[in-house]
């Protein structure tokens, strides 16, 4: 009881002074850490195997940050559970900026797809920077007569359940893009998930439509083997300048792949800012833009706050789609 009385009798000015001193020391320590950050190698955890699109973007980011921040950034592939293994590893890591996460759409869709996660992505990962957006494109087998999105919607409504829509698997982004389209356009297609490549069946006409990354199908579109009906982003894309956006016909439609960098919650704002400035500078470099274009991506330079809002919006959007379409994992 004596200790309680002693604390209660402290003069307010002394207490405030001590608190301010502690805060000052904390801020000074954070600033000092940021000034020397990074002082040793940093790992960027990618939740998918080497060679995957996420891995390629992670390696581009790692190279760019290594060049700009003077310390080695390396990619650590930790695949499994739709990217959850890698995410959880980063969530449990020390919040010192030396273990980062390559964030992608799966981190936002998994929040709803998986009911037993031991972490809350939006709460446990601090957004550092947006890197790139990877547009998708709605492609058809040319045997299907529709040449525009309105014609396709009209055909689908006249033939409910007769169009087979391929995807990279239940819960994949290609599945999500198609499910969102069906909901917003009011059409019904038969979803055909693939564990291996859907391309042979799409080219043969056994499935008639798919939403796929532009980089995956652009050569088939150029060769006339597939018909690019519309890109999935809000605006037309330089890679397919004559192809309209789905949103020109289905108001509000937008769906695409994207990538960014996150860190364990608690990482200092000073270190987050160092990472953002490094990524932002890299994205302004024409060479980086060219490298991203090679994998069908365009720069998405979002600052931490804006990237955080983007992640929350994506999590809500895809959660609604998953629930409305009753999407379940295999």
Name the CATH architecture for the domain at 135-248.
Answer: 3-Layer(aba) Sandwich (3.40)
- Mean pLDDT across 136-157: 96
Q: Is the dihedral of CA 215, 167, 194, 58 positive or negative?
A: positive
CATH superfamily of 41-134+256-324: Bordetella uptake gene, domain 1 (3.40.190.150)
Check: CB of residue 314 under 8 Å from CB of residue 180.
Answer: no
| 60-115 pLDDT, tens digit each | 999 999 999 999 999 999 999 999 999 999 999 999 999 999 999 999 999 999 98
Report the phi/psi class of residue 48: left, alpha or beta, with left for phi > 0 and alpha for psi in -120 to 50.
Answer: beta
pLDDT at residue 3 tops 50: no
Least confident interval from 34-38, 124-128, 269-273, 293-297: 34-38
Do the first three CATH levels of 41-134+256-324 and 135-248 match, i.e. the same topology? yes
Backbone φ and ψ for 269, nearest 5 degrees, come out as -65, -30
> Which band of pLDDT confidence, cut at 50, 70 and 90, is reported for residue 25?
low
What's the predicted TM-score (pTM) here? 0.86
pLDDT band (50, 70, 90) for residue 15? low
Q: What integer pLDDT is reported at residue 228 of this predicted model?
A: 96
Alpha-carbon gap, residue 150 to 140, rounded angstroms = 14
Q: What is the pLDDT of residue 189?
A: 97
Q: Which residues pair with 263 in a beta bridge?
A: 126
Kindly list the domain boundaries of the chain, sorted by start residue: 41-134+256-324, 135-248
pLDDT band at 217 (very low <50, low <70, confident <90, very high): very high
Statement: residue 5 has pLDDT above 60: no
On the question of pLDDT at 35 being above 80, the answer is no
Nearest-5° Cα angle at 121, 120 to 124: 75
- Name the pLDDT band for 10 (thresholds 50, 70, 90): very low
Note the pLDDT of residue 330. Answer: 72
In the predicted structure, residue 237 carries a pLDDT above the cut 60: yes
**Percentage of residues in the chain with pLDDT exceeding 90?**
82
Q: Give the model confidence (pLDDT) of 288-312 as tens digits.
A: 999 999 888 999 999 999 999 999 9
**Residue scoring higher pLDDT (271 or 237):** 271
């Amino acid at each position: 009881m004596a200790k309680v009385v002693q604390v209660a009798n402290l003069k307010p000015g002394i207490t405030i002074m001590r608190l301010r001193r502690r805060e000052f020391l904390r801020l000074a320590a954070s600033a000092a850490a940021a000034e020397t950050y990074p002082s040793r190698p940093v790992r960027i955890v990618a939740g998918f195997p080497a060679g995957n699109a996420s891995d390629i973007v992670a390696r581009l980011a790692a190279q760019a940050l290594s060049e700009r921040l003077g310390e080695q950034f390396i990619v650590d592939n930790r695949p499994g559970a739709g990217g959850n293994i890698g995410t959880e590893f980063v969530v449990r890591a020390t919040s010192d900026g030396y273990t980062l996460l390559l964030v992608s759409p799966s981190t936002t869709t998994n929040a709803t797809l998986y009911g037993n996660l031991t972490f809350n992505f939006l709460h446990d990962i601090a957004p550092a920077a947006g890197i790139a957006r990877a547009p998708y494109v709605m492609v058809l087998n040319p045997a299907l007569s529709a040449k525009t999105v309105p014609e396709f919607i009209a055909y689908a409504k006249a033939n409910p359940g007769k169009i087979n829509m391929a995807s990279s698997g239940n819960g994949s982004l290609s599945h999500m893009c198609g499910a969102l389209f069906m909901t917003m356009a009011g059409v019904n297609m038969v979803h055909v998930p693939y564990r291996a490549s859907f391309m042979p069946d799409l080219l043969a006409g056994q499935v008639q439509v798919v939403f796929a990354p532009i980089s995956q199908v652009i050569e088939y579109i150029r060769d006339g083997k597939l018909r690019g009906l519309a890109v999935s982003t809000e605006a037309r894309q330089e890679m397919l300048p004559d192809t309209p956006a789905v949103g020109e016909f289905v108001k509000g439609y937008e769906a695409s792949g994207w990538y960014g960098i996150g860190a364990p919650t608690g990482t200092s704002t000073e270190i987050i800012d160092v990472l953002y400035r490094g990524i932002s500078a890299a994205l302004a470099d024409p060479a980086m833009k060219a490298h991203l274009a090679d994998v069908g991506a365009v720069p998405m330079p979002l600052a931490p706050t804006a990237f955080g809002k983007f992640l929350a919006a994506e999590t809500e959007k895809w959660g609604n789609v998953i629930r409305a379409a009753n999407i379940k994992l295999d």
